[in-house]
């Protein structure tokens, strides 16, 4: 467990907090490129790390992220005009470009230089793999985008979606890296043969107390969970947690690989950007259909919103008859099942009340790495992963082996998790 003081240190990510400062050393994915696809199109409200911002695409196609409020009288620029390479406040006509420079101030005399003294807060934006990224930290410490494998595959090999969750980022990530819950939360009821019909389903239902091996690295950590196989041997499942909030889950063989980004909106909400991708072939229509309908890696959302269709307001559409006869939860969809658990303690879990066991090894380590990273930054030590995007060239993996060796002792497994240099180049 954490003390209440440590819990606040971990979960508070606003501009004047140690964890907020740590987060701001990394590029922040904040929305999909398609959400502001049109030059001079409508601006979109963004809330990121507790800050109210505005995204727009200017006349030349450049994506921008700026303070939502005009520095004149602090009215919302959401109502502004996106025109001729700038956003113009409709209150008094002040206009700002993508860098936050005031390029026109028609309410002041023509000979006034006041506009040269006014600046709208703006953040550098890069665009890669259908996602927009912002850097919110000091200019002198700006590093690389993470060089993740999916950023280099063709567009048709990748499916991207986004939705919100009503919880702090940390508990959302904890739900993702908790491999032990898979044996329970996502299973069928005991009398349903479907549990053992799936290749990995048999492993999860057969051994509900996996052995953990957590290997720390500059990018974060690899989380190995070992389960006994009924006919001998061991099933190893290696997932990753990357600084500061990325997770990569080992896929079922032949299925797509998925990465999720758990980006803090503020202390009580998280913006989830999910990427499923293949390196071998394009994503199929059947895969897209399943993901769009929330049947696997992605959440189904209410049309026109980023709110999951199954959410806390409707009890995640729980069906008690289904729960009694078919599934462990009575909730349809892995994403909805996970959200029900990670939202149910409230927006910020009181971790001082927990009783953690061996199955929580990865969660304990993640919390400690984040807290230690933020404390190191307070001492002037910059996070290596924020500077070097090549550290993210790792993939998740699962395999059955017939020896007692840990996964990191097997050269074949270690090599299978390495990704060759993808040459990721971000559009400036």
Phi, psi (rounded to 5 degrees) for 18: -60, -40
Outline which parts of the chain fall under CATH 3.90.380.10: 149-416
pLDDT of residue 206: 60
Cβ-contact 300, 310 below 8 angstroms: yes
pLDDT of residue 199: 40
For residues 344 and 332, give the distance between their C-alpha atoms in angstroms, rounded to a whole number: 17
Element at 122 (helix H, strand E): strand 122-123
pLDDT of residue 211: 85
pLDDT of residue 13: 98
pLDDT of residue 201: 56
- Cα–Cα distances (Å) from 121 to 47, 68, 102, 255, in that order, read 14, 9, 11, 43
Outline which parts of the chain fall under CATH 2.102.10.10: 27-136
Dihedral sign (CA 107, 111, 117, 119): positive
Cis peptide before 244 (omega within 30 of 0): yes
**70 pLDDT more than 70:** yes
Cβ-contact 306, 162 below 8 angstroms: yes
Question: What does the mean pLDDT of the chain come to?
Answer: 92
pLDDT tier for residue 179 given thresholds of 50, 70 and 90: confident
pLDDT in tens, 270-289: 999 999 999 999 999 999 99
Residue 8 CA, chain-centre distance (Å), reads: 20
Element at 171 (helix H, strand E): helix 169-177
pLDDT in tens, 349-359: 999 999 999 88
pLDDT of residue 425: 42
**366 pLDDT more than 90:** yes
**202 pLDDT more than 90:** no
**374 pLDDT more than 70:** yes
pLDDT tier for residue 207 given thresholds of 50, 70 and 90: low
Look up residue 150 and give its two tokens. Answer: 């999916």
Q: Within 13 Å, how many C-alpha atoms sit on residue 383's CB side?
A: 32
pLDDT in tens, 14-42: 999 999 999 999 999 999 999 999 999 99
Residue entry with tokens 């052995």: 211
**68 pLDDT more than 90:** yes
pLDDT of residue 294: 86
Q: Tell me, what DSSP letter sits at residue 98?
A: T
Q: What number does CATH give the domain 149-416?
A: 3.90.380.10
3-state secondary structure at position 229: coil
pLDDT tier for residue 218 given thresholds of 50, 70 and 90: very high
Q: Tell me, what DSSP letter sits at residue 385?
A: H
Whether domain 27-136 has CATH 2.102.10.10: yes
For residues 151 and 389, give the distance between their C-alpha atoms in angstroms, rounded to a whole number: 12
pLDDT of residue 421: 65
β-strands 122-123, 125-128 pairing: unpaired
């Amino acid at each position: 467990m954490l003390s209440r003081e440590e819990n606040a240190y971990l979960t508070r990510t606003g501009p004047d907090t140690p964890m907020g400062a740590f987060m701001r050393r990394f590029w922040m994915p904040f929305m999909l490129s398609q959400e502001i696809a049109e030059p001079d199109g409508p601006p979109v409200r963004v809330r990121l790390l507790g800050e109210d911002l505005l995204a727009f695409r200017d006349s030349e196609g450049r994506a921008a992220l700026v303070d939502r409020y005009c520095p004149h009288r602090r009215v919302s620029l959401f109502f502004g005009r996106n025109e001729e390479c700038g956003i113009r406040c409709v209150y008094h006509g002040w206009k700002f470009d993508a860098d936050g420079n005031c390029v026109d101030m028609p309410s002041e005399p023509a000979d006034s230089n006041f506009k040269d003294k006014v600046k709208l807060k703006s953040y550098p934006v890069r665009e890669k793999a259908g996602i927009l990224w912002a850097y919110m930290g000091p200019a002198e410490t700006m590093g690389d985008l993470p060089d993740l494998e999916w950023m280099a595959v063709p567009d048709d090999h990748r499916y991207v979606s986004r939705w919100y969750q009503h919880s702090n980022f940390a508990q959302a990530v904890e739900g993702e890296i908790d491999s032990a819950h898979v044996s329970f939360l996502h299973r069928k009821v005991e009398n349903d043969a479907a549990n053992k019909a799936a290749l990995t389903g048999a492993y999860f239902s057969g051994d509900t107390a996996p052995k953990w091996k957590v290997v720390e690295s500059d990018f974060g950590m690899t989380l190995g969970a070992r389960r006994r196989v009924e006919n001998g041997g061991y099933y190893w499942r290696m997932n990753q947690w990357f600084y500061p909030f990325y997770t990569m889950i080992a896929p079922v063989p032949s299925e797509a690989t998925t990465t999720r980004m758990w980006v803090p909106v503020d202390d009580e909400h998280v913006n989830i950007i999910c990427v499923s991708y293949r390196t071998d072939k394009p994503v199929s229509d059947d895969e897209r259909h399943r993901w769009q309908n929330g049947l696997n890696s992605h959440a189904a959302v209410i049309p026109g919103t980023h709110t999951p269709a199954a959410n806390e307001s409707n009890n995640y559409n729980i069906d008690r008859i289904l729960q009694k006869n078919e599934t462990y939860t009575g909730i349809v969809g892995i994403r909805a099942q996970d959200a029900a658990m990670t939202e149910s303690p409230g927006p910020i879990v009181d971790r001082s009340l927990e009783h953690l066991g061996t199955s929580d090894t990865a969660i304990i380590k993640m919390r400690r790495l984040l807290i230690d990273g933020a404390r190191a930054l307070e001492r002037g030590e910059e996070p290596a992963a924020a500077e070097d995007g090549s550290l993210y060239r790792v993939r998740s993996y699962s395999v059955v082996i017939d020896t007692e060796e840990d996964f990191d002792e097997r050269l074949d497994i270690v090599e299978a998790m390495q990704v060759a240099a993808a040459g990721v180049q971000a559009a400036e």
